[in-house]
Amino acid sequence: MFLPDLLAGQRLLITGGGSGLGAAMAERLGQLGASLLLCGRRAEVLQATADRLRALGTTVDTAVCDVRDANAVEALVETAWQQAPIDGLINNAAATFIAQTETLSARAVDAILATTLHGAMYATLAVGKRWIASGRPGTVLSILSTSTITGRAYTVPSAMAKSGLLAMTRSLDASTSDELEQAITTVEEGTSAGTSWRQSVVNFVLDTGNATWLQFGSSIGAASETSSGIAEIATQAETDGGTDDLRFVTPLKLNTWANKTRRAQATIGDGSSTQFDVNHNFATRDVVVQVYQASGSYEQVTCDVSLPTTNTARLNFAAAPASNAYRVVVMG
């Protein structure tokens, strides 16, 4: 998809580059020819990632740095710049945890904002002012999340930090503000002529961004395999029945269905008949039929089994079973 030397000659700084998304981006960027400077708090993690990338042919430097410390970030960039200028910055370092908002302490909030928001600002300032002073172009890529658009429960500090990071990146891009407005479209709920609207889909492609709108209270068709729409959650009975193709099944109902053994049983034998039909109503021939003695040792009995319909198992015996001699179990 990309030329293998697309980023040849580019030196990129990735914060939080030793693990997770940072390490994954580093691997791909290295494949495209970039030389990398990975920073993070754990030297052993950075070293392991660097060793792996070097084995793939990527030029990698590492630096232990806590991005929450503005002085440490400035020192990192200054040292790196003396070796070779930095062409791009990826603000990837972030922190988060899941908690009810009312239980958060001030220190908990600060821990998230300091890494995700303040750390990104410190790094952007450190490289940005050097780009300006040297007249070099540069690129800042800030890793965001959908919480900047939708919000996210139980991760309020992280959503705040990511939203601030988005605002920082937008605000710093003063030279290409027109393009930015086309690339990143913010659409809020509102009203027009007394009618309420909500954003449904936004295409973020430059110069082609068109919003698709959904009117509250309008008639919306049912979802299908080829069109979007509204679909209801199936009940457990509908899930068990397996015939409804208009509702969707939740993982819980699917698990309940999977763990439910469908079972039909009957006692057969009258001393004269050699053929018996057992109805199970499973609507399938994909069933297992077992016959065993109804008393005594309960040994399994061999007979010929056929499935004349999707709801019937037919048993044929060489000799007529005695009255109520055998038990039949059909499982499906």
How far, rounded to the nearest angstrom, does the alpha carbon of residue 285 sit from its chain's CA centroid?
Answer: 38
Q: Are residues 21 and 167 in the same domain?
A: yes
The verdict on residue 218 lying in a domain is: no
Q: Residue 83's domain is classified under what CATH number?
A: 3.40.50.720
The whole-angstrom separation of Cα 116 and Cα 168 is 12
CB 35 within 8 A of CB 58: yes
The verdict on residue 274 lying in a domain is: yes
In the predicted model, is pLDDT for residue 24 greater than 70?
yes
Q: Are residues 168 and 30 in the same domain?
A: yes
The whole-angstrom separation of Cα 267 and Cα 248 is 38
The whole-angstrom separation of Cα 269 and Cα 321 is 5
- One-character DSSP codes across 250-308: -HHHHHHHHTPPPEEEEEE--SS-SEEEEE---S-S--EEEEEESSTT--B---EEEEE
Looking at 172, 207, 230, the residue that finishes a domain is 172
The verdict on residue 239 lying in a domain is: no
Q: What is the DSSP letter of 104?
A: -
Q: Which long-range contacts (CB under 8 A, 24 or more apart) does 210-219 make?
A: 211/185, 211/187
Confidence of residue 250 (pLDDT cuts 50, 70, 90): confident
| pLDDT higher at 282 or 52 | 52
Q: Residue 307's domain is classified under what CATH number?
A: 2.60.40
In the predicted model, is pLDDT for residue 128 greater than 70?
yes
In the predicted model, is pLDDT for residue 150 greater than 80?
yes
Determine the average pLDDT of the residues in 214-237: 66
Domain hosting residue 301, numbered range: 263-331
In the predicted model, is pLDDT for residue 176 greater than 50?
no
Residues 6+ apart with CB under 8 A from 221: 227, 229, 230
Q: What is the DSSP letter of 165?
A: H
> Tens digit of pLDDT for each residue in 200-214?
333 333 334 443 333
Torsion of CA 122, 128, 129, 133, to 10 degrees: 160
> Tens digit of pLDDT for each residue in 265-298?
899 999 999 999 999 888 889 889 999 999 988 8
> Tens digit of pLDDT for each residue in 78-104?
999 999 999 999 999 999 888 998 998
The verdict on residue 220 lying in a domain is: no
Residue 221 has a pLDDT of 64
Q: Which stretch, 38-47, 131-140, 258-267, has highest mean pLDDT?
A: 38-47
Candidates 246, 244, 243; CA nearest to 221 is 246
The whole-angstrom separation of Cα 69 and Cα 76 is 11
Residue 191 has a pLDDT of 39
The verdict on residue 290 lying in a domain is: yes
Alpha helices (runs of H) in 84-190, residue ranges in sequence order = 106-113, 119-134, 147-150, 156-172, 177-183
The verdict on residue 323 lying in a domain is: yes
Q: Which stretch, 72-76, 106-110, 237-241, has highest mean pLDDT?
A: 72-76
The verdict on residue 326 lying in a domain is: yes
Mean pLDDT over each residue of the chain, to the nearest integer:
83
Structure tokens at 160: 């705040």
Looking at 172, 198, 218, the residue that finishes a domain is 172
Domain total of the chain: 2
Determine the average pLDDT of the residues in 54-65: 96
> Tens digit of pLDDT for each residue in 292-320?
999 988 899 999 999 999 999 999 999 99
In the predicted model, is pLDDT for residue 184 greater than 70?
no
How far is residue 256 from each of residues 183, 259, 261, measured CA to CA in Å? 45, 5, 10
The whole-angstrom separation of Cα 293 and Cα 306 is 20
The verdict on residue 246 lying in a domain is: no
Determine the average pLDDT of the residues in 51-71: 96
Residues 6+ apart with CB under 8 A from 227: 221
Looking at 111, 145, 172, the residue that finishes a domain is 172
